[in-house]
Amino acid sequence: MNNSNQAVPDEAIWRHPFILSSGDQPAGIDDFRPAESDYTVLDPKTYEAIEAERLFAKINYTRTEAGCLCLYRSLARPLPDAQVLRLKQEALQEIGSNREIREALERYIDNGVKKERELKYLLYGEFSGGLTTDVPAERTGRLEFGGFGYHQYREGTQYVVDRVAAAKALPRPESRYLQILLSTLQTFDQTRVYQLMKGPVYLANDKFKTRREKPRLLPLPRFRPTIFKWIPATVFIAAAYAIMLFFEILAPELGASYIGYGIMVLTVPVFPIVLLAMGASDRDSVIYPLRRQYRQSEDLARLLDALGLLDELLSHHRYRDSLQGHMTLPKVLDEPHHLLIADNAKNPLLIHDNPAYIPNDIILDAVGRLLIITGPNSGGKTAYCKTIAQIQLLGQIGCYIPATSAQLVPAERIYYQVPDPGQLAAGMGRFGHELKRTREIFFNSTPLSLVVLDELSEGTTFEEKMTLSEYILKGFHQLGASTILVTHNHELCERLQNEGIGRYLQVEFVQDAPTHRMIDGVSRVSHAHRVASEIGFSKTDVEKHIEKHLSGDGNKTG
């Protein structure tokens, strides 16, 4: 085991926002999606440009809601922590190589799936009262149930108690990441929130006490999560019989055993009313306040994260098994500059639909930190750039990547700029809008950033664009960020080549058809005529249309 990992504090694993929401609604995927004012590695525009949602759908093999949220959170908000990433990789390697551990964890996760939602129902349900418990109804985003929450309380707390007990029976792993997760589950029984969940809960002046906290000789009322209360029921029945016996034995001259029986019969309908009143009291004064404590408990939040992170690891393992071909865990480096090298890398999205997808090497190192890609449209330039960003992202969450071998440095920022004419700022135009995005990327980039620029700003003269592109790329180069530019501008490439700046790839074409391989060099050939011919808009097509129009056949053509 890597000695450097031994210095990683346990707290490093919990740097993500917890999946347990302390509010009135459960956390969902939308809560972890990057926002303009709140993101880590991926900003919202990059998240959309690299198709992170589709990527999540392809790699998501989780079986629990907690696992699904943890995986999505990892993908949408990856952490640039090389040491934690290595810990995750070691755990994933142990799961892959140790069948006993893997099968034990699979059973552990699967056995908790059916009851997992009961805890959510307890924490976030609304209980409308009554003597029956209805199935949840989604109304205005809320979980509504009949009853007073007794069923949800019993099932939800029992789910936690069972998960802790089952965790204690798991075999001890070797990897530290798994040890931390299992220890979080196994030692949860030492927390106060566990003692409250396991019960009994005692009531003392609007406060709750566990069995350990209750003074031994002090009698305190005990909360029982059931609508039928033995003591009130016993008192009620005893009172009814006492009334009947009074008239039967002590006042027979009043005639009345009939009076006694009549009074007892009249009191029977009162009993359900008493129960409903007690149920409402338990809901409002015990169940709701208790669950508020549970939602705000960091101990419970860690437990749920530990469950989700275990499922996330198993999901990574299942993802690897779902694909044919080479899959690898990249070697994680801790360097002052970003680096990504992958051999025979394939696009994580396209490989699912095309097993014969053509692989390409990725080299973003000290020599190739500025990479410029040229070539005609439809050759695979954008697919190659998305492959780079998606592989960086998968590797940075500890997941397998489709490549024969790889190494990377976690990125502090990943930026992907694409033309966005649909979001023009008033009075700015396309050129200003795109230039503003490039400025935003540049001033937020660091030497540990990965930047993809799919064409630089359009809408100005050729010479101005040349000057602008040149100083922007030189700026990124001097900054030290890994920068990829997709362009058709071979003149720009010649200027930078003359100064010894950058590495250059071009799309390979054979007999006017793209092979989807990237080869060294700068493309100076345009395939615009080929593309125009394929869509029926070549020079010949235009001339034929004009000829038909002038000859009087234009009205007959589309």
- Domain 3-191+297-320 belongs in CATH node 1.10.3470: no
Tens of pLDDT, residue by residue over 376-427, are: 877 889 999 999 999 999 999 999 999 999 999 999 999 999 876 555 454 5
Q: Tell me what the mean pLDDT of segment 435-450 comes to.
A: 94
Burial profile 376-394: b = 16 or more Cβ within 10 angstroms, e = fewer: beebbbbebbbbbbbbbbb
Tell me the average pLDDT across 297-323. Answer: 97
CA distance 536 to 523: 25
Spell out the alpha helix ranges (H) of 169-229: 176-186, 192-198
d(CA 410, CA 412): 7
Mean pLDDT on 464-486: 91
Sign of CA dihedral 487, 488, 492, 496: positive
Do residues 319 and 382 touch, judged by C-beta distance below 8 A? no
**Given this model, what pLDDT does residue 261 score?**
54
pLDDT at 2: 45
CA nearest neighbour of 22 among 300, 310, 286:
300
Burial of 456 (0-12, 13-18, 19+ CB in 10 A): buried
Q: CA-CA distance, 105 to 300, in Å (whole number)?
A: 20
Mean pLDDT of 442-458: 90
DSSP state at residue 311: H
| Three-state secondary structure call for residue 39 | coil
Contact present, 431 and 458 (Cβ < 8 Å): yes
Predicted local distance difference test score (pLDDT) of residue 7 = 66
Burial of 307 from C-beta contacts in 10 A (0-12 / 13-18 / 19+): buried
- Which pLDDT band, with edges at 50, 70 and 90, does 240 fall under? low
Distance (Å, whole) CA 261 – CA 337 = 90
- Give me the mean pLDDT over the 184-205 stretch: 96
Q: How far apart are CA 397 and CA 62, in angstroms?
A: 15
E-strand spans in 387-527?
405-408, 413-417, 449-454, 482-486, 503-510, 513-520
**pLDDT (0 to 100) of residue 153:** 96
Tokens read off for 133: 């418990």
- pLDDT, mean over the chain: 87
Q: Please check whether residue 417 is in contact with residue 384, taking contact to mean a CB–CB distance below 8 angstroms.
A: no
Over residues 343-370, mean pLDDT: 91
Alpha-carbon distance of 88 to 177, in angstroms, equals 6
| Residue 350 to residue 518: CA distance in whole angstroms | 17
The residues with which 485 forms a beta bridge, in sequence order, are 372, 453
- Measured distance CA(466)–CA(100) in Å, rounded: 61
Question: 278: pLDDT confidence band, cut at 50, 70 and 90?
Answer: confident
Please give the average per-residue pLDDT across 215-239, as a whole number: 73
Percent of the chain at pLDDT above 70? 83
Looking at the DSSP bridge assignments, the partners of residue 262 are none
- Among the residue ranges 149-153, 225-229, 507-511, the one predicted with the least confidence is 225-229
Instruction: Kindly give, in sequence order, each residue whose CB lies less than 8 Å from that of residue 439, ignoring residues fewer than 6 positions away.
Output: none
pLDDT for 511 equals 79
Per-domain boundaries in the chain? 3-191+297-320, 230-286, 326-526
Distances (CA, A) of 213 to 199, 203, 339: 12, 11, 55
Tokens of 370: 């500025």
Closest Cα partner for 23 from 136, 118, 142? Answer: 142
- Within 248-359, strands assigned E span 331-332, 340-345
User: Which tokens in the block code for residue 371?
Assistant: 């990479």
Number of neighbouring beta carbons within 10 Å of residue 265? 11
User: Does 197 score more than 60 pLDDT?
Assistant: yes
Position 557 scores a pLDDT of: 47
Give yes or no for residue 1 having a pLDDT over 90.
Answer: no
Smallest CA-to-CA distance from 39 within 450, 444, 476, 443 is with 444
Q: What is the DSSP letter of 227?
A: S
Task: With cut-offs at 50, 70 and 90, classify the pLDDT of residue 203.
Answer: very high
> Residue 252: is its pLDDT beyond 80?
no
Give the type of residue at 31: D
CA-wise closest residue to 403 among 357, 335, 449 = 357
Whether the predicted pLDDT of 548 surpasses 60 = yes
Nearest in space to 74 (alpha carbons), one of 94, 95, 55, 97 = 55
Q: In the CATH scheme, what is the code of domain 326-526?
A: 3.40.50.300
Strands 482-486 and 449-454: parallel
Task: Give percent above pLDDT 90 in the chain.
Answer: 62
> Rounded mean pLDDT of 456-461?
65
Predicted confidence (pLDDT) at residue 115 exceeds the cutoff of 70: yes
How confident is the model over 523-538, as a mean pLDDT?
70
Taking only the tens place, the pLDDT of each residue in 161-173 is 999 999 999 999 9
**Range with the lowest mean pLDDT among 73-77, 104-108, 255-259?**
255-259
